[in-house]
Amino acid sequence: MSDHKSGPTNVLIVGVGGQGVIMVSKVLAQLCQNHGYEVKQSEVHGMAKRGGGVFSHVRFGPKVWSPTIPEGEADILVALEWAEGLRWINFMKPETGTFIADCQRIVPPFACRNRGRGAEATYAPQTPEEIIEQVHAGYAIDATSMAANLGNSKAANTILLGALSTALDFPVEDWLDVIKGFVPPASVDINMLAFQEGRDWAQAGEKRIDETAKGLHQTHDTIRHNQIETTVEITADWCKGCDICVKMCPERCLRLNDKLIAELALPDLCTGCRMCEWLCPDFAISITNTPILEPAE
Amino acid sequence: MNSVMTAPRQEETVSSKSRPLTGNEAIARGVWEAGVKVAAAYPGTPSTEIMENVARYPVEDIHAQWSTNEKTSLDVAIGASFSGVRAFAAMKHVGLNVAADALMSFSYIGVNGGLVIVVCDDPGIHSSQNEQDTRVFARFAQVPVLEPSDGQEALEFTRVAFDMSEEFDTPVIVRSTTRLSHTRSAVKLGTRRAPDSKGFIERPHKNVMIPAHARMQHPEVLNRVSKISEAMNSSPLNRVDKGDSKLGIITSGISYTYVKECLPDASVLKLGASFPLPETLIREFCASVDQVLVVEELEPVIEDALRIMGLKVEGKAYFPRVGEFSPEVLRAGFAKAGVMKAKPTEAAFEFAPMVRPPVLCAGCPHTSCFMALRALDTRVAGDIGCYTLAVVEPLKSMDTCVSMGSSIANAVGMAKSGVETKPIVATIGDSTFLHSGIPPLIDAVYNNANITVFLLDNHITAMTGGQDHPGTGKTLRGEDTSRINFLELVKALGVKWARVVDSYDMASMQQQLREAIDFKGVSVVISNRPCVLDPVKIKGPAMAVDQDTCIACQSCMNLGCPALTWSDEWYEGRHKVKIDLEACIGCSLCAQLCTSDSIVPATVQP
């Protein structure tokens, strides 16, 4: 726990819209207020909740001015999703910051845009090992799986609160009291268990990586999938310009030319999926996927 | 009535009760405590929660309503003020543009019952189309603008604004910003004090703005501003934090908290109102310090005014005119001004963060609409709503987006230009259509424009978090009311081709849209499925991808659905697809697009 005399304690809570960032920060803010601190909790609403990144700043102490945490001054960073944690990692105090992140990945559709052969999703490539090694105190916890094992995947946030509780000086009973007020009555028991599980897990060391997280996020062996060359042959005499291939091409790389004959307009985008070949009612399209045995130097 | 200028900052009626409230919740509390009788708003981030919270107070105390647009909401409030009760309207910064017509005249008229408008600016453009500064508007309308800096002030300034409105016979703007509206802090609550209604006062020279009356009122307006300016010199709304006399900082609103964070020892003149300014107080403050810096987000409103007063100050030379302030931004500015040491900027970790833009939700009924528009190669004039997210890959089918209700008239202009070769389609949501889409649709019919209007009806005001509107059949307080029938409405306006389509039927969607485009003249296609988040979260049986038969063609990935992602399996160098069972709501659009019939309900998967 950081020294309050030198200013407020700063906890930054981040995640993806819909995960419960606001709930986690409300619990913490309520707890701090119950303990007589001045608290400011700042969040974003609106567009951001549609699956985009979400953050909430919680600052507490004898006096708090700015509602946002200055960059490099967060005592604790709690990430409900791995890559969101990395996005904000420079907001942590470099020497003394604590990093608590769920190691589960939420890979957005935007990350799956590179359709090139063998291309990986553009997800953060940093492994938990690399990150945890470099921070003062760090936890890559598989809260999502732990919660699922308890029988309620929504309790992942409470597991993270349990881990967070080890980095702050509030009595366990006070945490549990506040959490009870924020979860549905039917799930109080499971959340109490979840809190304790998260707390126990984090208490086992200053740096810890969940077994399931080890080796995650390593880049794939892309060469294996690159060894195919595609050629698209369109027999103009057979094409009647029905437009089916153009409309159905997943990469939208075909078009009808001036004479209303199909042509490959954007060959770089073609992945050789054969959709056009299969759908052409006139057998005018032929795709050849040739394996390249010797990878080019 | 307690004079604003002598009222103590904390009144004796304030109980020791304090609650964690967001700025918006505190404003709503202030509205209730001020005894407001009529409150109206159109939702808009970051102001939306104000009216939602006003509606939590007893209906006997206050009438709270959603209006069809911001101008309507202000006109409703003005009507209540004419009747002698306190009245309130809330809107986002660009909403004030819509309400401006009423505001500019009402500034001449003045109030009977006190009238306050809360306008929430969005520095940094978190969820808007620009970052205009409402303080410029206030000056333009010659209306005072108060700027609270935290939740407590949000409540108190709102309450005081009503007293001020009545004391000086003027509408008053309280300006919040995204950061203040959405920051939660402990706020001490007061009690409600409802003034008696004065009833309507028949005085046409003041209530009816014909040229002869307006000419008489304009000098009154200027006179009013001088009086307020004078009174502001001794108002507790403005205050000086005495500190180091080497450096004086003049600031307002949320910027004050950043100033105190960075330079706790500097002398600070905190202006509670940035228009009109307290000239004597400012001159005294400037004389008491060696150097003066003005710290204000967005436009140099205060700085310019001080320069006109002949004072030597600096501001925008060091602090940006664009974007949201933060302690980091201020530190950099103070360092540039030489009053603070620059912070070393070496980051502990150096890597580019992953891009994660907001996306349409899994099962969003807008998805199929834009899939169809892209497939039909249309020129799409867009509008304001969640569907603006269709501007990026993979839907990538929106060509323009200007302001609320612009789409239809933009499409008319494109059609009349005579040079557009693609079919022209205007896309507009149900709430936006009711806000300001009806007059342009009449315009299109009247001028026989060859366009297709795609009315994306998801039965809610979705982007702001699910607010009711005249098309939902519910009021702000959840009471049943008449419900707009969009098909009948557009037919009544003279549209000859209008049909309703199911957003979850991809084939029908394409077919109907193609027919609508082929129709010469104005055609209207109404997509008809509720938002998956509001008013109830929709969750059907999830779909799953059979990994044995998926040929990784990526057709489904073109939906941009957040429940779809790449699996660890490959087919000819392409990723197969998997579905997040928690996120999938079972809309089946991906299954309709699947070329190998690999997407089936998860329950029938082996």
* pLDDT one-digit tens code per residue, A125-150: 888 888 888 899 999 999 999 999 99
Q: Which residues of B touch A71 (CB under 8 A)?
A: 326, 328
A117 vs B531, residue with greater confidence: B531
pLDDT of amino acid A258: 93
Contact across the interface for B572 and A289, Cβ inside 8 Å? yes
Q: Are B396 and B559 in contact (CB under 8 A)?
A: no
| pLDDT for residue B63 | 98
Residues B516 and B562 occupy one common structural domain: no
Look at B354 and A90 and tell me if their CB atoms are within 8 Å. Answer: no
- Residue that is last in its domain, among B485, B501, B528: B528
Q: DSSP strand E in A113-203: where?
A: 137-141
Which is more confident, A48 or B534? B534
- Interior angle at CA B386, CA B180 and CA A69, nearest 5: 30
What contacts B32, CB < 8 A, 6 or more positions away? B54, B57, B61, B62, B192
Three-point CA angle A231, A233, A235, nearest 5° = 180
Burial label, B427 (beta-carbon count in 10 A; 0-12, 13-18, 19+): buried
The answer to which of A4-13, A122-131, A254-263, B286-295 has the lowest mean pLDDT is A4-13
Mean pLDDT of B289-299: 97
In a domain, B206, yes or no: yes
Across the interface, of A113, A118, A226, the residue whose CB is closest to B393 is A113
What's the CATH number where B486 sits?
3.40.50.970
Amino acid in the structure at residue B257: T
The residue ranking higher by pLDDT, A1 or A138, is A138
DSSP B470-534: TTTTB-TTS-B-----HHHHHHHTT-SEEEEE-TT-HHHHHHHHHHHHHSSS-EEEEEE---SSS
Contact of B114 with B163, CB cutoff 8 Å: yes
CA B344 to chain centre: 36
CA count, 13 A, side-chain hemisphere, A244: 14
Write out chain A residues lying below 8 Å of B555, CB-based.
248, 250, 275
Determine the pLDDT at residue A216: 56
Q: How big is chain B by its Cα radius of gyration, in Å?
A: 27
Residues of chain A with CATH 3.30.70.20: 227-291
Closest by Cβ to A275, choosing from B127, B343, B553? B553
Q: Which of B502, B528, B554 is the last residue of a domain?
A: B528
Please give the Cα distance from A47 to A49 (Å, whole number): 5
Q: What CATH number did the domain enclosing B581 receive?
A: 3.30.70.20
Amino acid (one-letter) located at B373: L
> Which residue, among B354, B370, B538, B568, would best test binding to A if mutated, counting the most A CBs under 10 Å from its CB?
B354
Nearest CB partner across the interface for A87, out of B178, B258, B354 = B354
**B140-155 as b/e: b if 16+ CB within 10 A:** ebbbbbbbbbbbbbbb
Using a pLDDT cut of 70, give the percent of chain A over it. 90
* Average pLDDT of span B457-467: 94
For A227-291, which CATH class? alpha beta
Amino acid identity, residue B45? Answer: T
Q: How confident is the model at residue A3 (pLDDT cuts 50, 70, 90)?
A: very low
DSSP B361: P
Question: Residue B9: inside a domain, yes or no?
Answer: no
**pLDDT confidence band for A2 (50 / 70 / 90):** very low
Q: Are B536 and B570 a contacting pair, CB within 8 Å?
A: no
User: Side chain identity at A49, as an amino acid letter?
Assistant: K
H or E stretch including B187? strand B183-188
Confidence of residue A214 (pLDDT cuts 50, 70, 90): low
Helix orientation angle between B93-109 and B134-141, rounded to the nearest 10 degrees: 20
Q: Which residue has the tokens 């017509």?
A: B101
Mean pLDDT of A172-185: 95
Residues B30 and B169 in one domain: yes
| Identity of the highest mean pLDDT range in A192-201, A214-223, B572-581 | A192-201
How confident is the model at residue B12, as a pLDDT?
Answer: 38
| A290 contact B CB<8A | no
The confidence band for A215, taking pLDDT boundaries of 50, 70 and 90, is low
Please tell me whether residues B499 and B424 are part of one structural domain.
Answer: yes
Q: Measured between CA atoms, how close is A212 to chain B, in angstroms?
A: 16
Q: Please tell me which residue of chain B has the smallest CA distance to A69.
A: B327
Tell me the DSSP string of A58-122: EEEES----SSPPTT-BSEEEESSHHHHHHTGGGB-TTT-EEEEE------GGGG---STTPPP-
CA dist B507 and B505 (Å) reads: 6
For B441, phi and psi rounded to 5 degrees?
Answer: -70, -40
Q: Are residues B200 and B245 both part of a single domain?
A: no
Cβ <8 Å between A87 and B551: no
Residues B25 and B41 in one domain: yes
Residue B560 clears pLDDT 90, i.e. is over it: yes
Max mean pLDDT range (B197-201, B569-573, B600-604): B197-201
Residue A48 has what pLDDT?
Answer: 55
| Contacting A residues, span 170-189, partner chain B, CB-CB under 8 Å | none
Q: Exposed, middle or buried: residue B191 (CB in 10 Å: 0-12, 13-18, 19+)?
A: exposed
Give backbone dihedrals phi and psi of A208, rounded to 5 degrees, phi first.
Answer: -150, 140
Min Cα distance B565 → chain A (Å) is 6
Residue B58 lies in a domain: yes
Task: Please provide the size of chain B in residues.
Answer: 606
Alpha-carbon radius of gyration of chain A: 26
Range of the domain at B512: 366-528
d(CA A56, CA B38): 33
Average of pLDDT values for B232-251?
96
Instruction: Check if the beta carbon of residue A252 is closer than 8 Å to that of residue A272.
Output: no
B534 is a domain residue: no
B2 inside domain: no
pLDDT at A46: 55
Residue A115: the pLDDT is 85
DSSP per position, B130-179 = ----HHHHHHHHT--EE---SHHHHHHHHHHHHHHHHHHTS-EEEEEEHH
Q: What percent of chain B has pLDDT over 90?
A: 89
Q: Tell me the nearest-neighbour CA distance from A193 into chain B, angstroms.
A: 22
- Closest-CA distance, B20 to chain A, in angstroms, reads 8
Cβ-Cβ contacts under 8 Å, A138 against chain B:
none
Q: What pLDDT score does A293 carry?
A: 61
How many structural domains does chain B have? Answer: 4
Say what the ipTM of the complex is: 0.90
Scanning B142-161 for CB atoms below 8 A from A yields 150
Furthest-apart CA atoms within chain B: distance in Å: 82
Residue B250 vs residues B177, B277, B301: alpha-carbon distances, Å = 18, 12, 12
Q: What is the pLDDT of residue B34?
A: 98
B503-529 tens-digit pLDDT: 999 999 999 999 999 999 999 999 999
Residue numbers in A near B358 (CB within 8 A): 17, 47-52
What gap in Å lies between CA B420 and CA B418, rounded to an integer? 6
What percent of chain A shows pLDDT beyond 90? 63
Q: Do B91 and B117 belong to one domain?
A: yes
B91: Cα within 13 Å, side-chain hemisphere: 28
Q: Is residue B95 part of a domain?
A: yes
Tokens of A137: 């105190």
Answer yes or no: do B211 and B169 share one domain: yes
Most distant pair of Cα atoms in chain A: their distance: 83
Res. B434: pLDDT tops 50: yes
- Using a 10 angstrom Cβ sphere, with 0-12 exposed, 13-18 middle and 19 or more buried, the burial of residue B484 is middle
Tell which residue, B319, B309, B310, has the closest CA to residue B339: B319
Question: Any long-range contacts for B545-551 (C-beta under 8 Å, 24+ apart)?
Answer: B545/B576, B545/B577, B545/B578, B545/B579, B545/B598, B545/B599, B546/B598, B546/B599, B546/B600, B546/B605, B547/B576, B547/B578, B549/B596, B549/B597, B549/B598, B550/B576, B550/B577, B550/B596, B550/B598, B551/A273, B551/A274, B551/B595, B551/B596, B551/B598
Q: Is domain A4-213 in CATH 3.40.920.10, yes or no?
A: yes
Mean pLDDT estimate for chain B: 94
CA distance B603 to B606: 8
Report pLDDT for A205. Answer: 79
Alpha-carbon distance A14 to A12, whole Å? 7
Q: Packing angle between helix A172-180 and helix A156-165, nearest 10 degrees?
A: 150
CATH 3.40.920.10 maps onto chain A at: 4-213
**Contact assessment for residue A122 and residue B354, using Cβ atoms and an 8 Å cutoff:** yes
The answer to whether position B358 is within a domain reads: no
Q: Which of A94, A124, A153 sits opposite B354 (nearest CB)?
A: A124
Residues of A in contact with B260 (CB under 8 A): 65-66
Determine the pLDDT at residue B10: 42
Task: Name the residue in chain B with its Cα closest to that of A135.
Answer: B348
Nearest-CA neighbor of A157 among A188, A191, A185, A113? A191
Give me the sign of the Cα torsion angle A86, A88, A91, A97. Answer: negative
Question: B531: left (phi > 0), else alpha (psi -120 to 50), else beta?
Answer: beta
Same domain, B263 and B228: no
Smallest CA–CA distance, residue A211 to chain B, in Å, is: 19
How high is the pLDDT of residue B6? 45
Is the pLDDT at A186 greater than 80? The verdict is yes
Closest CA to B222 of B301, B302, B110, B304: B110
Q: Is residue B501 part of a domain?
A: yes
Where among B186, B214, B232 does a domain terminate? B232
C-alpha–C-alpha distance, residues A11 and A98, integer Å: 9
pLDDT digits (tens, 9 = 90+) for B329-367: 999 999 999 999 887 767 778 888 888 888 899 999 999
Residues B149 and B295 in one domain: no
pLDDT for residue B109 is more than 80:
yes
Mean pLDDT across B14-23 = 76
- Same domain, residue pair B266 and B389: no
Pairing label, strands B291-295, A9-16: unpaired
A25 close to A56: Cβ distance less than 8 angstroms:
yes
pLDDT band for position A4 (50/70/90)? very low
Considering only the beta carbons, identify the residue of B260, B328, B554 that sits closest to A70.
Answer: B328
8 Å CB contact between A147 and A163: no
pLDDT of residue B13: 40
**What's the token pair of residue A120?**
């990986």
Report the C-alpha gap between B386 and B388 in whole angstroms. 5
| Interface probe, candidates A30, A47, A220, A269, chain B, greatest B C-beta count within 10 A | A47
Three-state SS for B71-100 is HHHHHHHHHHHHCCCCEEEEEEHHHHHHHH
Q: Cα–Cα distance between B433 and B436 in angstroms, integer?
A: 6
Alpha carbons A91 and B347: distance in angstroms, whole number: 9
pLDDT tens readout for residues B361-377: 999 999 999 999 999 99
Mean pLDDT of A202-215: 78
Same domain for B247 and B222? no
Q: Are A239 and A282 in contact (CB under 8 A)?
A: yes
Cβ of residue A223 closer than 8 Å to a chain B Cβ: no
Tell whether B228 and B370 lie within a shared domain: no
